[in-house]
């Protein structure tokens, strides 16, 4: 059985860790409120823009804009959105596994990779993947202009036929306890049949559908990328808060077990001392 000093030191260490995890949980909870609010504000705008694009797209000549062009997919660009820090449960590991799976299915030699966040960069930098760009310390100053800059680079690569498709892999926020890995195809833009298309013919578009598409498409790309970042940011804070809450509870259980072990060891030590005293007294009487 471990001696009392070792057990006391273990209890002290676990209590220190528990204080850290509790503080990290509170920080993540504060960040979650703000990031979730920003994400939920942006959702209606990005969803309505996506529906509008989707409803007009079937009636548009794709030769109108170079970024609407459909061509055989010979090379794909995969963009992985991860965090700059760990201690968020399976948040980073799950999205990295999904990227590896998708790239291996399509083919490493036909894939390019852009890493958003330090965790994805650290994972892929020493592995045999064609990483063309990366962003570290990304989430400390998250602004729309940064999403626009990344969107402009992606559009330029697609327009110049450097890649034939673009996929975003990120964590979508469902609830505090649930985040879902999403792989969204940003390019080429595809038409999906929806219920909203049944009433779209009754609408009048001014000046014309072509002019609307020319104006909306660049904004749509930037807004979608921004939405992906907001979803991932909220998901990261939720995952970290939940992970730190579980760690705090586990530390409490460990402290309880160590305290029980300490009391048993202390009781055994006292019993041993009593036996030694009684034995000594009996020996003196004899």
Residue ranges per structural domain of the chain: 4-20+244-285, 30-241
Nearest in space to 227 (alpha carbons), one of 154, 117, 151: 151
Q: Taking the chain, what is the end-to-end CA distance rounded to the nearest angstrom?
A: 34
Please state which of the four CATH numbers 1.10.150.130, 3.20.20.70, 3.40.640.10, 3.40.1380.10 is assigned to the domain occupying 30-241: 3.40.1380.10
Contacts with 258 (C-beta within 8 Å, 6 or more apart), sequence order: 7, 10, 11, 14
Distance CA 5, CA 211 (A): 77
Q: Classify burial at 235, counting beta carbons within 10 Å of its beta carbon; exposed 0-12, middle 13-18, buried 19 or more.
A: buried
Distance CA 266, CA 277 (A): 17
- Paired with 31 in beta bridges are none
- Give the SS3 label for residue 169: strand
What the block records as the tokens of 144 is 């729309």
Question: What does the pLDDT look like over 33-82, one tens digit per residue?
Answer: 999 999 999 889 888 888 888 777 777 776 777 777 778 889 999 999 99
The pLDDT, as a whole number, for residue 246 is 92
The pLDDT, as a whole number, for residue 196 is 46
The full DSSP string for 8-45 is HHHHHHHHHHHHHHHHHHHHHHHHHHHHHHHHHHHHHH
Residue 44 phi/psi, 5-degree rounding, is -60, -40
4-20+244-285 shares its CATH topology with 30-241: no
Distance CA 77, CA 113 (A): 6
CATH top-level class of 4-20+244-285:
mainly alpha
Q: Which residues, given as ranges, of the chain have pLDDT below 50?
A: 195-200
Q: Supply the pTM of this predicted model.
A: 0.83
Nearest in space to 167 (alpha carbons), one of 98, 121, 83: 98
Distance CA 270, CA 4 (A): 12
The pLDDT, as a whole number, for residue 56 is 79
The pLDDT, as a whole number, for residue 127 is 87
The pLDDT, as a whole number, for residue 197 is 47
Distance CA 168, CA 230 (A): 13
The pLDDT, as a whole number, for residue 192 is 59
Distance CA 170, CA 154 (A): 16
The pLDDT, as a whole number, for residue 201 is 53
The pLDDT, as a whole number, for residue 199 is 46
Question: What does the pLDDT look like over 161-191, one tens digit per residue?
Answer: 889 889 999 999 988 888 899 998 888 877 6
CB atoms within 10 A of CB 124: 21
């Amino acid at each position: 059985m471990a001696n009392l000093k070792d057990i006391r030191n273990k209890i002290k260490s676990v209590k220190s860790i528990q204080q850290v995890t509790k503080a990290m949980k509170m920080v993540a909870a504060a960040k979650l409120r703000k990031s979730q609010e920003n994400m939920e504000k942006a959702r209606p705008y990005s969803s309505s823009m996506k529906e509008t694009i989707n409803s007009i797209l079937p009636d548009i000549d794709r030769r109108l804009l170079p970024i609407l062009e459909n061509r055989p997919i010979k090379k794909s660009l995969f963009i992985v959105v991860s965090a700059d820090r760990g201690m968020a449960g399976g948040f980073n590991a799950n999205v990295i596994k999904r990227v590896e799976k998708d790239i291996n299915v399509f083919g490493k030699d036909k894939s390019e990779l852009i890493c958003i966040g330090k965790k994805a960069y650290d994972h892929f930098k020493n592995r045999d993947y064609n990483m063309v760009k990366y962003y570290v310390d990304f989430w400390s100053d998250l602004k729309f202009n940064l999403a626009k800059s990344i969107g402009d680079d992606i559009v330029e690569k697609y327009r110049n036929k450097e890649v034939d498709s673009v996929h975003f892999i990120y964590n979508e926020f469902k609830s505090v306890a649930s985040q879902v890995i999403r792989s969204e195809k940003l390019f080429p833009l595809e038409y999906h049949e929806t219920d909203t298309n049944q009433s779209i013919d009754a609408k009048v578009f001014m000046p014309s559908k072509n002019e609307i598409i020319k104006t909306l498409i660049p904004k749509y790309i930037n807004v979608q990328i921004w939405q992906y970042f907001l979803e991932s940011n909220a998901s990261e804070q939720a995952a970290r808060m939940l992970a730190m809450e579980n760690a705090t509870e586990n530390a409490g259980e460990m402290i309880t077990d160590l305290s029980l072990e300490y009391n048993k060891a202390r009781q055994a030590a006292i019993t041993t001392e009593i036996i030694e005293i009684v034995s000594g007294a009996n020996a003196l009487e004899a």
